[in-house]
Chains A and B, each alone.
Chain A
Amino acid sequence: MRRSISLYGLTFSLPMLIWQLVFFVAPLVFLIALSFWTVKNFKMEPDFDTVNWVTMYGRSVFWQSYGLTLALATAAAVITSILAFPCSFAIAFKLSPKYRQWAIFLMVIPFFTSYLVRVYSWQIFLSDNGIINGLFAQVGMGPFPLLNTVFATMIGYLTLTFPLVVLLQLFSLIFIDRTLIEAAHNLRCGRIRTVFAVVIPSARVGLVIAALFCFILSFGDFVSPVYLGGGDPTTLSILITDTTKSGQQWPRAAVIALTMIATLLAVAFAAVGFAYKGRTK
């Protein structure tokens, strides 16, 4: 039987509803409308013309950028999840509650500084005359091209998402029922096997959600591909700025943005579906 919504419940959920309507639904509707507008003499004019969709979807550079951005974000999600897991595992299972609190605090600290500043500071480490190549030079190696590469872009994605992924994984690992791990050990399950057979399946929801957040943030990031990747190759976020830079083509940029939103929604639904697959109440 369907429950009726009480006034009490409605009052408390109303701010969220209003927030979603004002800051998500309304801009999204406008973005959809904008994608059908036309541009004449640098001026946007309300219209209903599919020319922007036809033009953008007909360009090979768009699909090239799309594939590349998808691949980069997927790689970032996988790499960050793999690198973050030992860290969150150690914090969850090896540290005392007191040190665990400190570790969580340390993971929150990066959010105190601007992401742009952190990315710029990486340039000092990664440039040909930077700190890392300086260390290589001490042992007669290098310089290696680190800055303006896909590697540097990935470092930027890690800078953006690593602390968040660790925290999300951690909150999932902390709440694993310890008796399951003890039972596995009692049944002569080795430590590594316990991780793969008990810990990871038990924390699946948190691990998938963490990877999903990493994917979402990396997929739309503009800062790392530009300031660490040197704008080469072109990601979708760079393509949006390129599109608006010449000829005021905001409607075409809207097509790219909507495609990105659709992709993120599809990935998010798939990831959440996978995370909760086989779960009962």
Chain B
Amino acid sequence: MTGIIRPSAGFTRRTLLATGAAALAMPMLGRRANAAATELTMLAWYGHAEPDMVAEFEAENNVKFVPKYYTGGDNMLGLISQSPPGTYDVILSDAEYVQALNAAGYVEELDPNDYALADYFPEFQNFPGNWADGKLFSMVTRFGFLGVAYNTDALTEAEAANYNVFWDPKLTGKVGHFDWHLPNLGQISLLNGNANPYDIDEAAWTALKEKTMSLRPQIGGFFDYGGTFSSLNDGQMLAFCGIGDWITGVLEKSGAKVKSVIPEQGGLQWSECFSIGKGSAKADLAKKWIQYITSAKGQAKSAQMAAYPALIPNQKGWEVLQAENPDEAKRQGMTKDAGNAIDMIRAGRIKYRQWPVQQGLEDWNDFWSEYKGA
């Protein structure tokens, strides 16, 4: 018997050639498909261009996000100011920095008709900073509250529901600061009874500095993002000033005994907004992304972002979240129950975190350095 291998029935020379050609072409086709994915640059806080947020949009639109993550609004402004126009297609900014982006001409004007603004809660339809001279420049996409973060083994919710808890002798050396003057001084300004914690006159500013200085002996450390997580997680710090659920929510999910509460003196609100970078060559795609992330579906996704959770301004997004993940909707207060997140805003218990009005940002920063060195 010879060792000749015969092709099976129906396997002709033509099919062999066709199959071979197709097999050879496959890698090239794959390469073409990959090459066709349009790159969209995003300047944002960490987490916004991670797969849990962008995978679906990338697949649907054959897009690949190229993120550049920053750590703070100043860092963001620095990166933009040192890059040529068009470097970043999509820019995520904290609300207090949007005005600066606008003033420097770093973002494109948006058409309000392109976005689901009507689905937003009324409080967010004319969100401060998003608009200038009746023109829209950015879309608020998520927000959160800052209050007292605490270890549930060390404090009860009732104890933590007052900023004075930071001065409790049992917390000496166990109170941590998120190392940024704006949220910390804003909270102590609320404790001092300032209706607008950032719009205070010289007398109130002096009183704020004195009150803050009196807290210094209680402080166990000044922490960055990672340090805040680890010191709360391992119980090294039992109470934290300047943060909220955006940190404790992540830790809670992993089983840490920490929580955040909005104290009786009120809380602060941080907000993140999306804009299209000036000179973007892919403005249409950037618009599509903002449409997606501000839609009900995108908003529900945003509320559950793995890096840090947040509240969302889209009412229909709340409904999607309630259907998809009722536990998370309840945990964050995005339900129809009385006392939910929007009710807190409507009750006047929440104030926007913003730049100081009557003092310079530099004054607040300099005082913060002095406080740290004291």
With contacts A61-B369, A245-B74, A247-B74 known, is A127 near B236, CB below 8 A?
Answer: yes
Residue interface mask A237-248, B partner, CB < 8 A = 1: 011001111111
Q: How far is the CA of A238 from the CA of B369 in the complex (A)?
A: 10
Interface residues of A (CB under 8 A from B): 41-44, 59-61, 64-65, 120, 123, 127-130, 145, 147-148, 226-227, 229-234, 238-239, 242-250
With contacts A234-B373, A242-B368 known, is A147 near B236, CB below 8 A?
Answer: yes
The chain B residue sitting closest to A120, CB to CB, is: B230
Residue interface mask B49-82, A partner, CB < 8 A = 1: 0000000000000000000000010110110010
Which of B81, B173, B219, B370 touches A145 (beta carbons < 8 Å)? B173
Which of B103, B173, B234, B373 touches A233 (beta carbons < 8 Å)? B373
A114 to chain B, nearest CB (A): 14
With contacts A42-B104, A247-B74 known, is A231 near B361, CB below 8 A?
Answer: no
Question: A64 contacts which chain B residues (CB < 8 A)?
Answer: 373
The answer to whether B173 touches A239 (Cβ under 8 A) is no
With contacts A230-B223, A248-B77 known, is A148 near B236, CB below 8 A?
Answer: yes
A60 to chain B, nearest CB (A): 7
The answer to whether B370 touches A61 (Cβ under 8 A) is yes
Within B200-228, the residues touching A (CB, 8 Å) are 219-224, 227
Within B73-110, the residues touching A (CB, 8 Å) are 74-75, 77-78, 81, 100, 103-104
Q: How far is the CA of A165 from the CA of B195 in the complex (A)?
A: 57
Question: A226 contacts which chain B residues (CB < 8 A)?
Answer: 224, 227
The answer to whether A242 touches B372 (Cβ under 8 A) is yes
Interface size counted on chain B using CB atoms at 8 A? 36
The answer to whether B181 touches A246 (Cβ under 8 A) is yes
Q: How far is the CA of A230 from the CA of B75 in the complex (A)?
A: 22
A sample of 28 inter-chain contacts (CB < 8 A) reads A42-B81, A43-B104, A59-B366, A59-B369, A59-B370, A60-B370, A61-B370, A64-B373, A127-B236, A129-B234, A148-B220, A148-B221, A226-B224, A227-B227, A230-B176, A230-B227, A231-B222, A231-B227, A239-B369, A242-B368, A242-B369, A245-B72, A245-B180, A245-B365, A246-B368, A247-B74, A247-B362, A247-B365
B217 to chain A, nearest CB (A): 11
Q: How far is the CA of A240 from the CA of B224 in the complex (A)?
A: 14
The answer to whether A232 touches B221 (Cβ under 8 A) is yes
Q: How far is the CA of A148 from the CA of B174 in the complex (A)?
A: 10
The answer to whether B104 touches A41 (Cβ under 8 A) is yes
Nearest 4 CB-CB pairings of A with B = A230-B221, A246-B365, A231-B222, A61-B373
* B245 at the A interface (CB under 8 A): no
Question: A232 contacts which chain B residues (CB < 8 A)?
Answer: 219-222, 372
The answer to whether A231 touches B179 (Cβ under 8 A) is yes
Q: How far is the CA of A61 from the CA of B366 in the complex (A)?
A: 9
Residue of B103, B224, B227, B373 most packed against chain A (CB within 10 A): B373
Question: B368 contacts which chain A residues (CB < 8 A)?
Answer: 242, 246
The answer to whether A42 touches B77 (Cβ under 8 A) is yes
A197 to chain B, nearest CB (A): 44
Q: How far is the CA of A249 from the CA of B364 in the complex (A)?
A: 14
* B235 at the A interface (CB under 8 A): yes
A72 to chain B, nearest CB (A): 14
Q: How far is the CA of A229 from the CA of B222 in the complex (A)?
A: 9
Question: B180 contacts which chain A residues (CB < 8 A)?
Answer: 245
Question: B179 contacts which chain A residues (CB < 8 A)?
Answer: 231, 242
Q: How far is the CA of A124 from the CA of B211 in the complex (A)?
A: 34
Within B273-323, the residues touching A (CB, 8 Å) are none
